[in-house]
Structure 1
Amino acid sequence: MGRPATYTTDRFLDAAVRLFAEGGARAVTMAATAKAAGAPNGSIYHRFPDRAALLARLWQRTARDFQDTFTAALADAAGVDAAVAAATSVVHWCREHPDGGRVLDAGMPAFSPESWSAEAKEAVAKDEAALRHALKNATRRLPSLTGCTDEEVVLALVEIPRAVVHRYLATGRTPPPKAVTLVERTVRKLLSA
């Protein structure tokens, strides 16, 4: 039985997220990531063949973690309370993972997806399709329960929380507790009108 790996994929990705939060995509190099993980330079190549693979996995892991939280909250979008819970889950996630929030706030284009492997692009597309499916289900259910249009539902579930967290993440700040309250009140007003 072999010994456990000292430098895991997650350790490198955690370091890459921190580097991105501090200096953007340019800061996420193979050498810098290895150094931030406390690993020898060569060890990162056992996990990622090149920088494009590192950036792809950084985006994918962060987006998937966020999407898992959001879609779990959205799964029971059976009324205003469930929709508010889904919308506020965006702020809660960004408060718990401010560096990850900065990754998502930057958007996928910041991670040079044109240089990703076909497998990485396919994996991200599959995750995005799952998110679109969850949102589509919510936009089918919530209008009849709230009297809102499907566009208002998307505004409530996606655009309002995104705008609120962006105000903080774009300036290097973690969304404060009042951001949760702002999203909750705004979404509730919109869906209850």
Structure 2
Amino acid sequence: MGRPPAHSVDDFIDAAVRLFATGGARAVTMSSVAREVGAPSGSIYHRFADRPTLLSAVWLRTTRRFERGLGEVLEARPPVESAIAACGWTVDWCRENVQQAIVLHAGARAFSPETWPADAREALAAHNAALNSRIVQLARDLAAETGRRSDEVAFTLFDLPLAVVRRYLVSGDPPPARATSLVTRLARRILAEG
């Protein structure tokens, strides 16, 4: 019976996220990720067939983690309060997970999805379709609840937090705590007081 692997799939993905956050997609090579983990170069190939497979895993895991947390916040309170809380949560998540936030801020294109294996491209397409459907439905529901247009709701939920964290993420810094307060106040003004 063989011994258990010293490094998990998540160890390699975490290393790739760190490398991406400091050096962009070019920094994420199979050998650099193995080196970052402290594993022999060959061991990464037991988990990922090639660089496109690794890049797809980095993007998909990061988006799923973020969206799972955001979904929990959106379901936790009455609709308007949950939306306001979600705006602040997004900034907090970026502060607490700055390297993953840099990955998300870069966007899927930075991970060359056109080179991914077919199953990863299909997973991305299915994920994007489901996400777009959820966003449209959420915006409609909140628009009905608040009397705001759905584009105003979508701006508040997604563009507003991103606008506040963008300058910090571009420089590789976590957004300060005051950014959460700013986003929450603005979201409340738009969704609850406007």
TM-score, normalised to structure 2, is: 0.94
Instruction: Kindly report which structure 2 residues correspond to 1:1-193, keeping only aligned pairs within 5 A, or say none.
Output: 2-75=2-75, 78-192=78-192, 193=194
- CA 1:135–1:75 in structure 2 vs 1: closer, same or farther (change >3 Å)? farther
Q: After the TM superposition, which parts of structure 1 deviate over 6 Å for at least 4 consecutive aligned residues?
A: none
Q: Which moved more, 1:151-160 or 1:137-146?
A: 137-146
**Partner of 2:45: helix, strand, or coil?**
helix
Amino acid at match of 1:127: H
For residue 27 of structure 1, report the CA deviation from its aligned partner: 0.3
For residue 75 of structure 1, report the CA deviation from its aligned partner: 3.1
**Partner of 1:46: helix, strand, or coil?**
coil
Residues 77-104 of structure 1: per-residue CA shift (max 9 Å, x gap): 7432111111122112111110000001
Q: Whole-Å Cα distance in 2 between the matches of residues 79 and 113 of structure 1?
A: 34
CA contact (8 A) 1:19 1:28 kept: yes
Q: Which moved more, 1:67-76 or 1:154-163?
A: 67-76
For residue 15 of structure 1, report the CA deviation from its aligned partner: 0.5
Q: Whole-Å Cα distance in 1 between the matches of residues 43 and 103 of structure 2?
A: 24
For residue 105 of structure 1, report the CA deviation from its aligned partner: 0.6
For residue 132 of structure 1, report the CA deviation from its aligned partner: 2.0
Q: For structure 1, which runs of at least 5 residues remain unmatched after alignment?
A: none
Q: Which moved more, 1:159-168 or 1:75-84?
A: 75-84
For residue 115 of structure 1, report the CA deviation from its aligned partner: 0.4
- CA 1:131–1:78 in structure 2 vs 1: closer, same or farther (change >3 Å)? farther
C-alpha root-mean-square deviation of aligned residues, in Å? Answer: 1.4
Q: Whole-Å Cα distance in 2 between the matches of residues 3 and 188 of structure 1?
A: 54
- CA 1:53–1:30 in structure 2 vs 1: closer, same or farther (change >3 Å)? same
Amino acid at match of 2:62: T
Q: Whole-Å Cα distance in 2 between the matches of residues 74 and 136 of structure 1?
A: 14
Aligned length: 193
For residue 39 of structure 1, report the CA deviation from its aligned partner: 0.2
For residue 24 of structure 1, report the CA deviation from its aligned partner: 0.4
Residues 47-77 of structure 1: per-residue CA shift (max 9 Å, x gap): 0111111111011111111111112222357
Identity rate, percent: 48
Q: Which moved more, 1:80-89 or 1:177-186?
A: 80-89
Amino acid at match of 1:73: V
CA contact (8 A) 1:77 1:141 kept: no
Amino acid at match of 1:3: R
For residue 165 of structure 1, report the CA deviation from its aligned partner: 1.2
For residue 137 of structure 1, report the CA deviation from its aligned partner: 2.3
